[in-house]
Structure 1
Amino acid sequence: MPRKGMRTLIFKSPSPSPSNSPSRSATQPSSPRRSFSDSLMEENIEIAQTLITQWDSDSSSYTNISSLFHDDRQEARLYLKSVKDLQSAMQHFLSSQDSSAEKLIIAQNLMQSAMKRLEKEFYQILSASREYLDAETVSSRSSKASARSSVSDLESESEDESRATTESVSAEEQISTIAMSDLKSIADCMISSGYGKECVRIYKILRKSIVDEGLYLLGVEKLSLSQVQKMDWQVLETKIKNWLSAVKVAVKTLFYGERLLCEQVFAASDSIAESCFNEISKEAAMTLFGFPELVGKCKKLSPEKMFRILDLYQAVSDLWPEIESIFSFESTSAVRSLAVNSLIKLGEAVRTMLMDFESAIQKDSSKTPVPAGGVHPLTRYVMNYISFLADYSEILGDIVVDWPLTISTPLPEAYFGCYDAEESPISIRLAWLVLVLLCKLDGKAELYKDVALSYLFLANNLQYVVVKVRGSNLKDLLGEYWVEKHESKVKQYATNYERMGWSKVFASLPEDPTAQISSDQAKSYFKRFNAAFEEAYKKQTSWVVPDQKLRDELKVSVAKKLVPVYREFYEKHRVGMRRECGEDSLVRYAPENLDNYLSDLLYGAASGGSVSSFSSSSSSSSHSHGRQGR
């Protein structure tokens, strides 16, 4: 049988019998044919209607105060699924040629009710989980595991996996994980349903208040330039210290955690995540990074304030990679610009203070010699200051890299170690400051009437400089060559002191102490030696060398040149003098005791005394001559 005939038989309607009722088409219009999809979508609406109506905030007092996501997580998952199915049904009927306006109206009303409920749930989770959505917990959690993409992920997780996950994190992180997952699921649902604005509005309001409060609790406040300018330095320094302790927490925890939270909650839309983070964090970040810029703009920042400015610069510089990453959005470019501008202003302030510091050294006009030829207060101040600067060498290197040192004459090679201007601008800059100090000290040495004391002053001060360099980061910056050259200069000053301070004593003895001379000549030599030694001793017991190593070296050097020569002369001629050692004797000092007298030297006036006061207490024997009480 032909196929066409078979189809005719199969699909042909039977002829009505005379006893049957009249044809349906003759009495009423035929209903539109319902497809399988129509039936499925209608069923979706019915299921959604049951669940959404049940949790309608206006339907009962219980649902008004309770939380869907807190009370029944299984039902929460079904609720989100029903909203998704409801949306599918609406799209189906909108695209259907035989769409039912009545069904669309029902679905639309249900959708509005569902969005109202989800909006409330979103607010409740954000509020209730506030302490568990803090930046520190979010930051910590993100380093261990990424957030689950939705609440439905919990359903697919096995019991054993869930238990393992629970045991591996703290209770706070568990609550944080669940809250973030619920927030993301609600946000995904509302955004896909076209109600993202309502969700975002709530999120921005609540989270901005949290970020603002976090910055306030860190002690960061919004200030104007006039307020900063008028502050006493003690007050401003306290605020700088507080800012330094706050900025790392603010960047690495507060803002970093907030960006992570935005990106995880609004993973469905990068633009929404950016918009939220911008509105939540931008104002607080501008307040945070506006402070160092204001400090950098302050007028009359004296050199003593340099190190706090460098601390601010270093803090921003060290955090720049995080700042650039966290505020990488185009909408937060103003934050990056402000951080960079803070560095610029702080760098300008540092340059100004360096120039002021150099000028202060050059303008020092003190005309009073330092008593006893000791270390000048200017030397102590400048070298302590420069050694502290060396601790910031990396930061200072960034600041002065485009600020070449300009002087009228080239500096001696000895002032640079193994560096040149291209390799280490900060080394050149610090070497120059030391040279400015040493030139100033040369002028101050001229204030002493005794030439030997002026050389001792230069030796003391240069020794202090060298010791400071060796004991700090300055050694690495200036180089071993620089140190060796200046140590050699100290020895040169010491030699000049010895020559000028002891030349009369050395000259009072004959060139050949063992030569045969008359008794009168011997007496003359002893008298000349006594007078010269007493004069040198009396002066130099009031002089001072604070550095023990240098002091010992000076006394040993004098002793080596003086005592052997005097001993030879003494042994050759003392017998002929016939009188014992004593105050009135021509032979007042035994060689063995010259070292005792020399040991009194260079401690300052407090420990000194005259030679005669010790001579009177000496023994009658030249071989046992010595000071009482030693």
Structure 2
Amino acid sequence: MGTKNLSEKSGKDDEKNNAGETLRSPLQDPKEVDDKKPADDTEPAANTEGEPDDKKMEQEISAEVEPDSPPLCLEKALEDVDQFLLKPQHNAEENEDASLEIPKFMEKFLDLVEEKIKKYDTGEDKPKWSGVPEEDTALLVSVGRISKLLKLLTDQSKSSSSSSSEENNQGKDSLVNRISVIQQRAMTYLEEEFRLLLEDSRISNNSDPVVHDSKGKQIEQDHSAQPDSELAGSEMDKFPGYSDDVVLNLNKIAKEMISGGYETECCQIYIILRRNAFEESLQKLGLEKISMDEVQKMHWETLERDIATWISTFKQSEPLFSSERKLAESVFADYPSLSMSLFSNLARGVAIQLLNFAEGVAMTKRSAEKLFKFLDMYETLHDIIPRMDELFPEECANELRTETNLVKSRLGESAICIFCDLENSIKSDTGKTPVPGGAVHPLTRYTMNYLKYACEYKDTLEQVFKTHSKIERADSTSRPHDEGESYNADSSNNNRDENQSPFSAQLTRVMELLDSNLEGKAKVYKDVALSSIFMMNNGRYILQKIKGSPEIHSLMGDTWNRKRSSDLRQYHTNYKRETWNKLLGCLSHEGLTHGGKVVKPVLKERFKNFNTMFEEIHKTQSTWVVSDEQLQSELRVSISAVVIPAYRAFMGRFSQYLDPGRQSEKYIKFQPEDIETYVDELFDGTPATSMARRKT
């Protein structure tokens, strides 16, 4: 920047100084000295006594000024520097080609600044930062003036005219070099102090007792230093491990480093240390750095534990992000765009680390047991998205929201694929080995327990299937409407509500496919009665699980439940028809009489057949299994209600036609009470004790 020659202005200042006014600059212009010579001293320079006279005159003028001038202190030098910094701006408007004259006090000012920096930067007894706030302020002010001087002189040197003397340019270059060296040393010191404040205060704060409020936030404590006006109103107590004084000093140092051209160094220190600190905080919460490749190679048991830790860490990271943003905004309060850039850089790195883990999990090989952890992670990401605008700057929030939605979608897609695999696992279970005793099939237990736990995530699964229904339809390989499979004739497909949610429809398909599979397995049993017991056992188990889960019950609906209850009653009827109706045939009156008389051989055969059949039923069906106590009781009561009255009536009417004694004992082996006892031994799943031994 071009400036006007300051000799004229400097001369006026000297006149004021000679008149006894405050000295602004010790620089004397040679012209002014000549103007003040006596008239008789204007002889040509050829006079041999002229040179001594000139020296004498300079000494007289110097003696006139300097005794009244106080020693130049840093405070006074700073005032002079401020005046100097202001002048070129005005002169530049008048004459861009003016040469900038450097006042003599500049060297003294630089000496004072060097001395101050040396005091801070060297020696075992160098003062710690913020030991004497006034001294710290003076140093920062001095460094600020050094930076301004360097910029001014550098710009002026570039724009000065070619008419400037070589000697003048060399002097300026020398001065610029010296100021540059001083600034570099000062910035090196400030850089180190900035780093130490970021490191040491965090460590010391961790060891100091900290008081928190009911929400876990640190309660503000009193400090001797008052907040700077630029930070007034800020709540320093919420910074991540830093007191308000430390944040204030960080702000001041950052301001001087950035204004002095050391923005890169300042920002590098800040981002590295704060990223390390943030990662340490995450590690204290239990989160380890794991790459996506490592995630996919981990055993599920280990990964399952890491997922639980990830969920906990992600939820606890919200206040960390919030306090970190506040710290950046306060340390770089004078540079809002820079503070947002630094925080965004930090937040993005940490958030992407968390998201990469979730994405790695979503990419692992699918298996049924992973569904619930996938849904837990999905819920965690779903909950954080609406709060991103509060946690991150707009641009960063938009970017992270996009990344989070992408990872959430992948988790959702994987969850749907896993759930839809349940259809395929049911369909592929084509085993022909019957379950002993007609008990509940393992497939039924697995499917219903899986659905029970899955439906605890009902709202999340509804959201997942609603959002990714197209993916769900494309992924599933077993659909009755796609493959034309024949389900139950009474399938609720025919009456399905058109407004049924995608997840509810999926659940209904699973239940229908399970019913169809069980009917196929029931046909494996050669005993039709046992196949009915099998269907009763599995049907009751399904209903009980649905009744015990309000989520499944609400999804399946009352109509479906009534239909399944009706099916159970039908299986019960089929069982009684196949077993006990045949037994009751032995007690039929038809053919027992001829010509009004009881035919004894036929009667004896009827009692004999009843005994044999009942013993066989008891022997066989005591090994059958009905694990549901209510169903077991219902069956026993139902059997007794059918058999005992009929047997009692038959025996009461026809036992008299048998000869008392051995003949009666031979053909009437059971009393009605015995029948009830033996019926109560059915469906225990263990062979019964021999009836003959019990009778004796």
What does the per-residue CA deviation read over 1:60-101, in whole Å, with 9 as the maximum and x for residues that have no partner? 6358743231x2345445655777799999999999xxxxx9
Kindly tell me: are residues 82 and 557 of structure 1, through their superposed partners in 2, closer, same or farther at Cα, counting changes over 3 Å?
A: same
TM-score when scaled to structure 1? 0.75
- 1:429 maps to 506
Distance change (3 Å), C-alpha of 1:534 and 1:151:
same
From 430, 439, 448, the equivalent of 2:525 is: 448
Q: Secondary structure at the match of 2:667?
A: coil
2: CA distance between counterparts of 1:440 and 1:153? 75
SS at match of 2:289: coil
Structure 2, unmatched stretches of 5+, are: 1-33, 40-56, 62-75, 84-104, 156-170, 474-478
Aligned match of 1:595: 676
C-alpha distance in 2 between matches for 1:407 and 1:443 = 16
Cα 1:40–1:154 shift into 2, 3 Å: closer
What is the SS of the residue equivalent to 2:453?
helix
* Structure-to-structure mapping, 1:77-226, within 5 angstroms: 115=187, 117-131=189-203, 152-153=226-227, 176-191=243-258, 195-215=262-282, 218-225=286-293
Q: 2:334 aligns with which of 231, 250, 268?
A: 268
Residue 468, structure 1, aligned to residue 559, structure 2: no
Contact 1:123–1:202 (CA under 8 A) maintained in structure 2: yes
Deviation per residue, 1:252-307 (Å, 9 max, x gap): 24444332322232232221112212333433332321122223233x42334333
Native 8 Å contact 2:427 2:517 kept in 1: yes
- Alpha carbons of 1:240 and 1:318: their partners in 2 closer, same or farther (altered >3 Å)? same
Change (3 A) 1:87 1:224: closer
Mapping for residues 529-544 of structure 1, pairs under 5 Å: 529-544=610-625
Q: Determine what percentage of the aligned residue pairs are the same residue.
A: 30
1:184, 1:265 within 8 Å by CA — same for their partners in 2? yes
Aligned equivalents of 2:133, 2:621: Cα separation in 1: 93
Partner of 1:318: 383
**For the structure 1 residues 311 and 419, does the alpha-carbon distance in structure 2 shift closer, same or farther, using more than 3 Å as the test?**
farther
Inter-partner Cα distance in structure 2 for 1:82 and 1:417: 87
Q: Could you say if the C-alpha distance between residues 304 and 109 of structure 1 is closer, same or farther in structure 2, counting changes exceeding 3 Å?
A: closer
For 1:490, the equivalent position in structure 2 comes to: 568
Letter matched to residue 500 of structure 1 = E
What residue number does 1:628 align with? none
State the secondary structure of the residue aligned to 1:609: coil
The match for 2:427 is 362
| Worse-superposed segment, 263-272 or 549-558 | 263-272
User: What is the distance in 1 between the residues matched to 2:114 and 2:201?
Assistant: 26
State whether residues 263 and 273 of structure 1, in contact with CA within 8 Å, keep that contact through their aligned partners in structure 2: yes
Q: Deviations over 1:302-335 (max 9, x none)?
A: 3343333333333322333345643444257554
Contact 1:255–1:281, Cα closer than 8 Å, also in 2: yes
Q: Distance in 1 between matches of 2:437 and 2:338?
A: 75
- C-alpha contact (below 8 Å) 1:541/1:609 kept by paired residues: no
Q: Secondary structure at 2:117's aligned position in 1?
A: coil
Displacement of 1:563 in angstroms is: 1.6
Amino acid at match of 2:545: K
Aligned counterpart, 2:31? none
Partner of 1:605, secondary structure, is coil
Asked whether the equivalents of residues 416 and 479 of structure 1 are also in contact (C-alpha less than 8 Å), the reply is: no
Q: Identify unmatched segments of 5+ residues in structure 1.
A: 1-21, 31-37, 96-100, 618-630
Q: Are positions 1:309 and 2:383 aligned together?
A: no
- Whether the 8 Å CA contact 1:293–1:346 is kept in 2: the answer is yes
Amino acid at match of 1:571: G
Q: Distance in 2 between matches of 1:287 and 1:311?
A: 18
Deviations 1:214-252 (A, max 9, x none): 455644324244x54444444544544443443333x32
- Out of 448, 452, 457, the position equivalent to 1:392 is 457
Deviation at 1:481, TM superposition (A): 3.4
Q: Deviations over 1:342-369 (max 9, x none)?
A: 2222223223323332112111121111
Q: Which residue identity lines up with residue 478 of structure 1 in the other structure? A: M
Instruction: Describe the SS at the equivalent of 1:588.
Output: coil
Instruction: Identify the residue that residue 13 of structure 1 maps to in structure 2.
Output: none
Contact 1:542/1:602 (CA < 8 Å) preserved in 2?
yes
User: Which residue number in structure 1 is paired with residue 325 of structure 2?
Assistant: 259
Give the CA deviation at 1:139: 11
Q: Do the aligned partners of 1:460 and 1:546 also contact (CA within 8 Å) in 2? A: yes
**TM-score, normalised on structure 2?**
0.68
Distance (whole Å) between structure 1 residues aligned to residue 388 and residue 488 of structure 2: 41
For the 8 Å contact 2:202–2:241, the answer to whether it is kept is no
Which of the pair has more CA radius of gyration? 2
Q: Assess if the C-alpha contact under 8 Å between 2:143 and 2:186 holds in 1.
A: yes
Offset, 1:602: 0.6
Q: Return the offset for 1:432.
A: 1.1
Quick one: distance in 1 between partners of 2:331 and 2:385?
26
